[in-house]
Amino acid sequence: MSKTYPLSAIMLALSVGLTACNQNTPSVEPTASTPVVTADDAKQFVDTAQQKLGKLSLPSAQAAWVYQTHINQDTAALSAYFSEKYGSLSSLLAKQAADFNKVEVDADTRRKLDLMRNSLVLPAPAAPEKSARLSQITSDLEGMYGSGKYCRSDNDCMSLTDMSNIMSTSRDEALLLEMWQGWRTVSPPMKALYEEEVTLANEGARELGFADISELWRGGYDMPAAEFATELDRLWGQVKPFYDALHCHVRAELGNEYGIDKVPQDKPIPAHLLGNMWAQTWGNVYDLVKPKQELDVIDVTEALAEHNYDEVKMVKQAESFFSSLGFAPLPETFWERSQFSKPNDREVVCHASAWDIDEKDDLRIKMCIQKTGEEFAVIHHELGHNYYQRAYKDQPLLYRGSANDGFHEAIGDTVALSITPKYLKEIGLVDSIPDASNDIGMLLKLALDKIAFVPFGLMVDQWRWKVFSGEVKPADYNKAWWELREKYQGVMAPIERDADAFDPGAKYHVPGNTPYTRYFIAHILQFQFHKTLCEISGNTDPIHRCSIYGSEKAGEALNNMLEMGKSKTWQEALTTLTGKGEMDASAILDYFAPLKVWLDEQNQGRSCGF
């Protein structure tokens, strides 16, 4: 799974999460030496803050883009410089915003003040030398990940892309284990830097009145931090019975392929056998776990090759989907400035991401596109970010973001759910639509990506929250990582891991400091959005066969929510589209209902659970 990371190129910029006023907000009590601040002062402060942030955002974004598409010493220094400047300004404004916590202001001003205080990802400490050090560490960690390689010898080195391709196709257990171990040689040197980064950022969080970064991150969802954690547990509880059934079936079939000595039927699944470097999605093992009966399942990768789709044509087709919903075409600069392929002459960060350089019209994506069905869906996802960014571009600076960060991730994936056989036929990629008897195959393939991902999407930040709070000490970083993976995913390390291995660093979002709960939320919301949009479009097919392609009515309803940005709570934004202000995973169960019946039949007599 490729998935996007930051919603703009600004390093250490305001994240997309929202929050209400936190009880731990520091305040300034009037004293003889402290002037009384007023509502007018607060409004003036907000206006000035937005001007200052806007002045730095463009060069910060440009520097970040150049660094990630041309990794070298100079671009790293340039990115670190602007990152430190923007991070320091954001932290300073966040602390100054707290001075108005007890001032009675209008709702709009209060929301903007709260956003400034609560929306930093890694708040920099006030001390300039510590702020600069934090910025340098974040830049170094990204560079270490982006330039990481596994070398069998001096003349035989492989990039993450090379190894991921092997992981996705090989059935040689020994080779898969080598690739899995090989990529994890890049992360141990990150551990000391990461530990220092956590210490510095926690200091910055405490200066804002939070106990630690964990409390800051969890508090950014328009509800108290503790209630948010409870909400995640509720949503996972809705999905878990279906995940357990999928896990049981996959483990049994992998045992048949590799032997139960390699895949014990009473333990978690070894992580290197699931077709993905992080075992976060399992679609690449579909051929091993698919139904035994002959099924007519469309191979999108093969269809792309047959119709001579190159990287640009794949992106053009994704654009046409949004055009069919009534959205305007992407600007010409998008095609001139985006990175679609991995350059041969330099190191780049290949992780797929969507960028809004000037927070207006300079939209871009950065990918090293592989011509596969999976990447075809990822491109739709990335453009979803871009269209969302453009929809809210006229909002005040502090409202230019999604209702919560899961919304941004969900929009593109919602569109990807419409990449159905019906859609593929309409755009000429296939000649016919398989009948409903083939739906189990399609649903299983999708569940191997979507449902298999859900617990991984939850546990990454479960680990970080424990690290940030100090519950997990540096000596136990790796131990805690695998304990959580076994608990939520039922996935285990294939070999014993050293305490200093720092396997979390082998996942981009950890050294890249991108909050991950957004992806969990996105996997819930996308099915909720899809079900609603299908209803708006007048769809009469089963929800898993619905495509909103060509429905301007659905596009209008979607855009009405997107234009709000984060000017309102996510509950209000959700209500605008769905009529309901609560996230609900029941749409997932509706979507995959036929598959759940089939899985239960397959699992009869099997040993399930982990």
Whether 523 and 453 have beta carbons less than 8 Å apart is answered as yes
Bridge partners for 14 per DSSP: 120
Going by C-alpha positions, the residue among 294, 303, 292 that lies closest to residue 421 is: 303
β-pairing, 269-270 with 491-492? parallel
Distance CA 28, CA 96 (A): 10
Residue 507 identity (one-letter amino acid): K
Residue with token string 């009675």: 104
SS3 430: coil
Ramachandran area for residue 574 (φ above 0: left; ψ -120 to 50: alpha; else beta):
alpha
| Cα 312 from chain centroid (whole Å) | 23
Whether 70 and 346 have beta carbons less than 8 Å apart is answered as yes
Distance CA 574, CA 572 (A): 5
Q: Which residues contact 597 (CB under 8 A, 6 or more apart)?
A: none
Q: Which residues contact 513 (CB under 8 A, 6 or more apart)?
A: 121, 122, 138, 141, 197
Whether 177 and 277 have beta carbons less than 8 Å apart is answered as no
Distance CA 144, CA 347 (A): 11
Active site residue 382: yes
Phi, psi of 338 (to 5 degrees): -70, 160
Give, for 356, the enclosing helix (H) or strand (E): strand 353-356
Q: What is the dihedral of CA 482, 486, 490, 491, to 10 degrees?
A: 20
Active site residue 195: no
Going by C-alpha positions, the residue among 145, 110, 140 that lies closest to residue 20 is: 110
Whether 363 and 355 have beta carbons less than 8 Å apart is answered as yes
Phi, psi of 266 (to 5 degrees): -125, 20
Q: Indicate the angle between helix axes 517-537 and 570-578, nearest 10 degrees.
A: 30
Query: Looking at 381, 382, 408, 523, which residue is catalytic?
Result: 382
Neighbour-count burial for 555-567, b at 16+ CB within 10 Å, e otherwise = bebbbebbbbbbb
Going by C-alpha positions, the residue among 321, 318, 307 that lies closest to residue 340 is: 318
Neighbour-count burial for 55-64, b at 16+ CB within 10 Å, e otherwise = ebbbebbbbb
Query: Looking at 509, 523, 530, 544, which residue is catalytic?
Result: 509
Residues annotated as catalytic are: 382, 509
